[in-house]
Amino acid sequence: MTELLLATSNILYFVEMDILGVTSNHSKRVAYISLMIALEINLSPEECVDIVGLSILHDNGFSEKLLYERLKGDHIKRLGDLEQVEDHCNNSEENIKNFPFMTDVKNVIKYHHERYDGTGFFSVKGESIPIMAQIISFADTIDLLVNLKENYIEKEEKINSFLTEQKNKLVSEYILNAFQNVRSNTSFQLDLKGEFLDKALKRNIPYFGKELSLKDLRSISKVFSKIIDCKSKFTSMHSTGLVEKISIMADYYKKDNDEKTKLIIAADLHDIGKLAIPNSILEKTSRLTEKEFETIKAHAYYSRSCLESLEGLEDIDEWIANHHEKLNGTGYPNGLSSDKLNFNSRLLACVDIYQALKEDRPYRKSLSHEQCMVILYHMANDSLIDSKITNDMDIVFAINFKISVPRRCIISPINNKFSED
Ligand SMILES: [Fe+2]
Ligand SMILES: [Fe+2]
Ligand SMILES: [Fe+2]
Ligand SMILES: [Fe+2]
């Protein structure tokens, strides 16, 4: 769980990078400060694990779409500006609803901007704020206002005046005292500098030796698929639609439960690297420049990079990495050819294209089943995608979505360049 959370926190940095152009490691520092306070006040080991997950995910509801709607495109320069958008609290809470936390974490993320004196977004006050929310709110604010990443030691004066000023306003005396004890430790100050933050988290987090089941993993990947789909109005159903269709194909091919769940997880996460791609490119209505197309292509590489450090997910990672590869070696990011592309990589690639064609894009409306199949058969004939899977999809989707006559092997020239996502 810890490994996965740390890997996925890198994905959330993409959102920050996309919006601000820089990444600050903010959520990991909030996780570390919160964990150290939680340990100091003797929260249970389960709560200590959960507070790391909650901290890493506390701002997951940020998306360029949300910010655009709220701020009408006003330029945002600092993370602190993003934090002022109240909706991110509700969005972040909603997105994590099915995450397999070990304790009751209701409203912790929703209330992560509440202040002890009741002057936060929702005016919840004192001990009515869940203890984990109190801790995260404090860690979040001190990290943003004092920037604990740099020169912690030189900031002693600034930190002291911040703490005096905020006692019983932002934070209770109880949590503040716990923070004072924790921060006197030299390693706390050095850990926050960043280079060894992952190691510091792993060193301090209680270990249960519990491995994630595929079902747990699916609950987590579903959370991330929501974050991905939130990025742009054009892709708001992309991961969800792909999950639906890959499940239908998995049943058709009589995949066992584990393999079907793995395909669903791959569908949830396959475009996670898109979080790093600016919406100005993803939503462009005119033809992409060479450079913009290169930027889009990077998403498959980023998707793989997020997950490849995780043991036990190698097959899912491979299918995700290959979802834009082509049988004749003209795909990306690695230009692999048919002998390197296994069945599930081919299946994910085919269904992904079908799903994308079924959705509206800035430059075209969604296509009918017949129109999608014309394009897919054409690609199969050009040795880009698997022709047997293409045929099967035609029949299976026609039956499942009650489309009257399945078409077979219709070839028509394609003049329009289309996006495969
Ligand atoms: Fe926040
Ligand atoms: Fe934050
Ligand atoms: Fe993709
Ligand atoms: Fe996709």
d(CA 215, CA 268): 13
pLDDT at residue 21 above 70? no
- Within a domain: 235: yes
The reply to whether 46 and 137 lie within a common domain is yes
Query: Residue 71's pLDDT is what?
Result: 56
Distance 108 CA to ligand 2 centre (A): 13
The reply to whether 227 and 131 lie within a common domain is no
| pLDDT tier, 189 (very low <50, low <70, confident <90, very high otherwise) | confident
Distance 355 CA to ligand 4 centre (A): 8
The reply to whether 56 and 99 lie within a common domain is yes
The reply to whether 147 and 244 lie within a common domain is no
- Find tokens 């690297």 and name the residue: 273
pLDDT digits (tens, 9 = 90+) for 210-228: 778 899 889 888 888 888 8
Residues 188-209, mean pLDDT to the nearest whole number: 85
Q: Which of 157, 186, 204 is the last residue of a domain?
A: 204
Distance 235 CA to ligand 4 centre (A): 9
The reply to whether 186 and 238 lie within a common domain is no
Measured at the CA of 215, the angle between CA 210 and CA 216, to 5 degrees, comes to 45
Nearest listed ligand to the Cα of residue 300: 3
DSSP string for residues in 177-220: HHHHHHHTSHHHHHHTTSTTHHHHHHHHS----PPPPHHHHHHH
Percent over 90 (pLDDT), the chain: 49
Q: Which of 173, 204, 235 is the last residue of a domain?
A: 204
Residues 15-22, mean pLDDT to the nearest whole number: 60
State which residues form the domain around 324. Answer: 214-400
Residues 113-142, mean pLDDT to the nearest whole number: 96
Distance 352 CA to ligand 4 centre (A): 5
Distance 371 CA to ligand 3 centre (A): 20
pLDDT digits (tens, 9 = 90+) for 173-187: 999 999 999 998 888
pLDDT at residue 151 above 70? no
Distance 111 CA to ligand 1 centre (A): 9
Residue 10 is part of a domain; what is its CATH number?
Answer: 1.10.3210.10
Query: Residue 415's pLDDT is what?
Result: 39
- Within a domain: 175: yes
d(CA 105, CA 119): 22
- Within a domain: 265: yes
Query: Residue 72's pLDDT is what?
Result: 55
Q: Which residues contact 329 (CB under 8 A, 6 or more apart)?
A: 335, 336, 337
pLDDT digits (tens, 9 = 90+) for 369-406: 999 999 999 999 999 999 999 999 999 999 888 776 55
The reply to whether 194 and 227 lie within a common domain is no
pLDDT digits (tens, 9 = 90+) for 309-360: 777 889 999 999 999 999 999 999 999 999 999 999 999 999 999 999 999 8
The reply to whether 238 and 179 lie within a common domain is no
The reply to whether 280 and 326 lie within a common domain is yes
Distance 89 CA to ligand 1 centre (A): 6
Contacts 24+ apart (CB under 8 A), 188-197: 188/36, 189/152, 189/153, 190/152, 191/32, 192/29, 192/32, 192/33, 192/148, 192/149, 192/152, 193/149, 193/150, 193/152, 194/25, 194/29, 194/149, 197/25, 197/28, 197/29, 197/32
Under DSSP, the state recorded for 329 is S
| Domains of the chain: total | 2
Distance 231 CA to ligand 2 centre (A): 18
pLDDT at residue 81 above 80? no
Nearest listed ligand to the Cα of residue 86: 1
The reply to whether 265 and 333 lie within a common domain is yes
- Within a domain: 361: yes
Residues 247-254, mean pLDDT to the nearest whole number: 97
- Within a domain: 407: no
The reply to whether 229 and 292 lie within a common domain is yes
- Within a domain: 257: yes
The reply to whether 126 and 262 lie within a common domain is no
Q: How many residues are present in the chain?
A: 421
pLDDT at residue 414 above 50? no
- Find tokens 């795909």 and name the residue: 331
The reply to whether 194 and 223 lie within a common domain is no
Q: Which of 157, 175, 204 is the last residue of a domain?
A: 204
